[in-house]
Structure 1
């Protein structure tokens, strides 16, 4: 029975100790925080650089902050969690991982503890050196040393100092900490009113003091000293409060690299998508746009949309497939002319027809020509097409020709081919490429003009039949070896 009561007392004692320690851990980062309404990543209270732990006593380390997404703890570059031989400290989740603690510090806890805070754009790092000791020190040891400050007139000032003093178990002796103003002659007046707030933590082993000036006046600039005393000695930490000229508030110019990277990546992905979309449907969209907003073939003194030239080897393809598709499916009015063996004969006829046509298309088989013949044929083709670049439809692939000397106009085969819209008849998108190379018209309006144009075309056809017979007759009588045979 006595053993059961003793066990209950021990359990109750441990519960009270655990609860008290937990409260200290839980509320430390939520009190005495900096008065800032901003939400960017920042520490919310002073962070110590050195901490002391009495062996077998409770100890906690803090990294109080806000605006973070994650906190990581390291001991001597080893990430948390730590094995027992590395450190006995554990995270305190109720403090949002801002605190690590141990109920009983051990000698192996000695080392550098680093907290790394991150959000989407910023990182903050702070390191605390922990020194375990066997018993409280005779002389107070500073854990947070204040630094000189420069402030403007009218601003609020907050000074803080802190030291490890250990716990004194004597009824008539107490640890103490306080701020005082120091004058040039070294005096420390005790009657000056200073707004101070003293704090303790870890069972009164650590004491600290806040010193506030709500609105700084010119007479407030000077030296201040923080004095910390225990049963055996006193230490002092002195700082200067200096005047700073007012400056215009500078906006936060930090670059949000992560957001910038996401936006850039999004733009790149969008650009690639647009390029792929254009490669797939861009030509069709472009053709529809051109046909929708094209100029009407009115008052241009043209009868035909295209003059189609063909050779003996391409006659069947041209007359059975090429011209019927252009006329019946795509509503192009076509004139046709055979390329005979006599260049002057067909060129004279084609030149008259080209004056009544909006574009010129030649359907050839490259195997019928050598390099010189093709050069002369392309030169004549460009002479026929003054409105736009001529179109060369090849029923087979063009062979690779050797570079040639330029003619008197500074042209050779390679230059003429670059100036010509060359389309392979076997291409997958042949008709789409061809229509993009020919003048586009608004067919809904163009059809209204067909009646008057057809009358002109009939009259022109009769005149050209008679003209063609005359040209053939004259050409037969005046053959010359100087002409190019095509």
Structure 2
């Protein structure tokens, strides 16, 4: 084609494509056509952009920018329409009209469309269901873990202690636990506590009755307990009103615990009845009971439903033994050789435990036998 002197209708050189944008984007529309070259002084070509609204064309806003792009010695004329910061009202159809000197023109149409997020109602419902399902699984799992911990957490802690904690075997101690009690509580100590610890859990125990020890706790208990306490890894005190001279008060408990802590650093207290409510009562030194309760390990014994010889079948009793074992040294699967005195002491305790009939109240004569055996065991050890 001879471009010189071409006077025909402009020929479209570029087929614009629809553009997709979001509000606030910057877009650029383009059109181009071949207009030729006419050697006349007043020859000129023109590009006009318009927006189509309601089947009619309207002028562009002033914020729109139109630039011409001639090339090939102005034989080809193109134009860009720049829109900075697209608004909602800018979306729609645009036309680009390129005309020549003879008022012949070619129109090009292009659409500026808004990007609309694809919302699939079914997929949204499915996503919500999946989210709810995940939350439900998490909540149920958490509740299950909490329930399992409340039910088996104590047993798991005992198993962990027995399996992984360092064994206290080479510390120069002869016994795992020294148990001190009052004569009135000997049925529980010699009939339940000691036989279970020695027979079932393989702990080496030594007992000491404080029933015959009178006077003030601070002056009498250290005298009789210091010796066996130094040979024991734990000191277990069976706390009851009878041990405290029938004075079940905060002041009496404070004096007893304070004395026990001066005898041994690792104290376990088995209470035979609930402790009195801690109040603001203080000793002469201005101290109260609460700090001492945190310094010792407290385990409460509930005798309801327990039958001597039938074992600890109830959940409360199983929890008692697990709580007690948690504060005792790690369980040893093998026993070291015992000295003759220790063997004689264990034989005495075994005889005492076997003399108690199942599910029967211990009479005066049998209780006297228990106390006699306990005293004999103590004399042998001394």
- Name the TM tier (shorter chain): 0.5 to 0.7
Match of 2:325 in 1: 435
CA 466–319 in structure 1, closer or farther in 2 if over 3 Å, else same: closer
Match of 1:293 in 2: 164
Q: Which residue, 243, 259, 263 being the options, matches 1:380?
A: 259
Match of 1:423 in 2: 299
Match of 2:268 in 1: 391
Give 1:465-484 correspondences, 5 Å limit. Answer: 465=379
CA distance in 2, matches of 1:326, 1:358: 14
SS of the aligned residue for 1:313 comes to helix
Match of 2:185 in 1: 314
CA 374–226 in structure 1, closer or farther in 2 if over 3 Å, else same: same
Offset, 1:459 = 10
Does the 8 A contact of 1:337 with 1:346 survive in 2?
no
Offset, 1:297 = 3.0
TM-score normalized with structure 1 length: 0.42
CA distance in 1, matches of 2:289, 2:190: 28
CA distance in 2, matches of 1:275, 1:374: 35
Match of 1:253 in 2: none
Give 5+ residue unaligned stretches, structure 2. 1-16, 36-43, 49-54, 56-68, 71-77, 82-93, 98-106, 113-126, 303-315, 347-375
SS of the aligned residue for 1:359 comes to strand
Match of 1:125 in 2: none
CA distance in 1, matches of 2:280, 2:160: 39
CA distance in 2, matches of 1:151, 1:237: 17
The structure with higher relative contact order (CA 8 Å, sep 6+) is 2
Alignment deviations for residues 46-88 of structure 1 (CA, whole Å, 9 cap, x no partner): 99xxxxxxxxxxxxxxxxxxxxxxxxxxxxxxxxxxxxxxxxx
Match of 2:80 in 1: 222
SS of the aligned residue for 1:292 comes to helix
Does the 8 A contact of 2:221 with 2:259 survive in 1?
no
Alignment deviations for residues 411-438 of structure 1 (CA, whole Å, 9 cap, x no partner): 4212212322222111441111111122
SS of the aligned residue for 1:400 comes to coil
CA 149–304 in structure 1, closer or farther in 2 if over 3 Å, else same: closer
Match of 2:235 in 1: 360
Does the 8 A contact of 1:394 with 1:422 survive in 2?
yes
Match of 2:207 in 1: 336
SS of the aligned residue for 1:306 comes to strand
Does the 8 A contact of 1:303 with 1:456 survive in 2?
no
SS of the aligned residue for 1:341 comes to coil
Offset, 1:262 = 5.1
Does the 8 A contact of 1:366 with 1:397 survive in 2?
no
Offset, 1:300 = 0.2
Does the 8 A contact of 1:148 with 1:240 survive in 2?
no
Alignment deviations for residues 254-305 of structure 1 (CA, whole Å, 9 cap, x no partner): xx88766654554343222211111111111221121122323322011111
Match of 2:247 in 1: 369
Give 1:68-107 correspondences, 5 Å limit. Answer: none
CA 258–237 in structure 1, closer or farther in 2 if over 3 Å, else same: farther
Give 5+ residue unaligned stretches, structure 1. 1-34, 36-44, 48-146, 160-178, 189-205, 207-217, 228-235, 242-255, 469-486
CA 294–467 in structure 1, closer or farther in 2 if over 3 Å, else same: closer
Does the 8 A contact of 1:303 with 1:357 survive in 2?
yes
Offset, 1:455 = 4.7
Match of 1:348 in 2: 223
Offset, 1:364 = 2.4
CA 357–222 in structure 1, closer or farther in 2 if over 3 Å, else same: same
Give 1:55-454 correspondences, 5 Å limit. Answer: 150=26, 186-187=46-47, 222-223=80-81, 225=95, 263-339=134-210, 340-342=213-215, 343=217, 344-366=219-241, 368-371=246-249, 372-386=251-265, 388=266, 390-406=267-283, 408=285, 411-426=287-302, 427-428=316-317, 429-441=319-331, 443-444=332-333, 446-447=334-335, 449=336, 451=337, 453-454=338-339
Does the 8 A contact of 1:338 with 1:346 survive in 2?
no
CA 357–266 in structure 1, closer or farther in 2 if over 3 Å, else same: same
CA 149–459 in structure 1, closer or farther in 2 if over 3 Å, else same: closer
